[in-house]
Amino acid sequence: MKREGTRTLLVGLLGLVTLLWIGSCRSGKESGNEGPAGDEPEMVKRYRDDGTLSSVNPVDEDGYVDGVKVNYYEDGKSVHSKVTYEHGRKQGPAIWYYKTGEVYEHTGFRYGKKDGLTRRYYQSGELMEEMTFKDGEELPGKKRYRRDGTLITE
């Protein structure tokens, strides 16, 4: 029971640190787009037909997703992904999670396309694979790893 509480705390802290980090990565946004006193953006919640929470996201003055959109698994509680948007387009870091809360994939987007290093992990936390993207295209040099960390050669 104590281990589960510690794990929940760690996952929560990771989520908070991630949100702070993602927020700091949003350079280039016009400062004049915020309200006069730094008002919080409008948050839009979407629900499935059965009433469970599907997603929560901030929107800009034009109604586009602008900030970190949080998507939920079908239970409406477990976070599926946190994806950064800028004026309706994926831009910046994005993280996908296993239903149990562990990180599955961490990648970046530029102008709506995967760009940069993408890492995927086993549910136990070990690195599974690394690949690099440029303008949405996977570049040569993908690396796959066994659970013990050894590189799989093809």
Which single residue is written with the structure tokens 């281990």?
Answer: 3
> What is the predicted pLDDT for the residue at 153?
74
Q: Where are the domains of the chain?
A: 41-152
> What is the predicted pLDDT for the residue at 41?
80
Q: For the full predicted model, state whether its pTM sits above 0.85.
A: no
Which pLDDT tens digits describe the chain residue by residue (154 residues)? 444 443 444 444 444 444 444 444 333 333 333 443 456 789 999 999 999 999 999 999 999 999 999 999 999 999 999 999 999 999 999 999 999 999 999 999 999 999 999 999 999 999 999 999 999 999 999 999 999 999 997 6
> What is the predicted pLDDT for the residue at 70?
98
The arrangement of secondary structure in 41-152, i.e. its CATH architecture, is: Alpha-Beta Complex (3.90)
Angstrom distances, CA of residue 108 to CA of 8, 40, 68, 90, 135:
26, 25, 13, 9, 11
